[in-house]
Each structure stands twice: as structure tokens, then as C-alpha cells.
Amino acid sequence: MKIPLILIFLLFGTNSLIAQECIFLPDGKYKVLPNKEFPHYNEYLMEIRGDEFISHQDSLQVFKIVKNYCFFKLENTDLEEDDFTELDKMLNEQSLGYKILRSEKGIYDFVLYSISLKGQVYSGKFIRIEDEN
């Protein structure tokens, strides 16, 4: 009787240890604030609306959010790849993924990874801002 109980405990106990809680951004408006060790990245405003990431950086850009495990990627749906060179196509296929590390009171710490290069691009915070309307 002890062996089946031990097996059940190991099965369910290790399953919860291995399971990872994924954090994604809820709908709303955010200020994107890069960490100080990345001074060449500027802060900007963006909005999450369903599966859309709307960047208010230099101009208004809308990206489709694609969730994969605990990452989310942005796909530019406005690109016309017909005129792309081979280099442009290769660069466009470089996978960048955001991972939310932790969240507390509307502040979401993130890392932007290059999935294809397996390295960090930069990190920062998504800070939820109240709508003025």
C-alpha cells in the first residue's frame, strides 16, 4: 500500500514543481520602460487589446500577439514580403519573444529574448497606466 501512495505523491508532487506559472499582460495601456543598463532603448507607450500589441513609439504600429509557452511574440501583419531581399526575409524571421518574469501592482518585469540567437536583447518594465477617459 505504501508504494502506490508514494508513486501518486511523486507523480502529482513533481508535476506541480515542474509546472511553471506563465504571466501575460492583461488588456490595457502601458508605459514601456527599458532598464538603465540599456540606455539606447527609449521608453514608449503601448496598448494590449485582445491579441493586438499597439505600439505608440514613433508611429502607430499594430502587431499580432502570438503566445508560445511562457513567451509572447509580435508578428507584423502589415509587412509586404514580396519586395524583401533574402536578407530582409531572414531578419524578419528572427524570433524575438517577451517573457514576463514577475508582476506586482501593475508593474511587469520583462526580458526580450532573441529566441533564434538564444540571448537577451534588453529588459525593462511594462507599467500599467490609467486611461484618462
What pLDDT, in 10s, does the model give residues 70-125?
A: 889 888 777 666 666 676 666 566 677 899 999 999 999 999 988 677 788 899 99
- Domains present along the chain, CATH in parentheses: 22-129 (2.40.128.20)
Q: How far apart are CA 133 and CA 130, in angstroms?
A: 9
Q: Are strands 44-49 and 52-56 parallel, antiparallel or unpaired?
A: antiparallel
What pLDDT does residue 3 have? 52
What pLDDT does residue 1 have? 52
Phi-psi region at 101: left, alpha or beta (left = phi > 0; alpha = psi -120 to 50)? alpha
- Please determine, for residue 63, whether its predicted confidence score (pLDDT) is greater than 90: no
What pLDDT does residue 53 have? 92
- Please determine, for residue 13, whether its predicted confidence score (pLDDT) is greater than 60: no
26 contacts 48 by C-beta, under 8 angstroms: yes
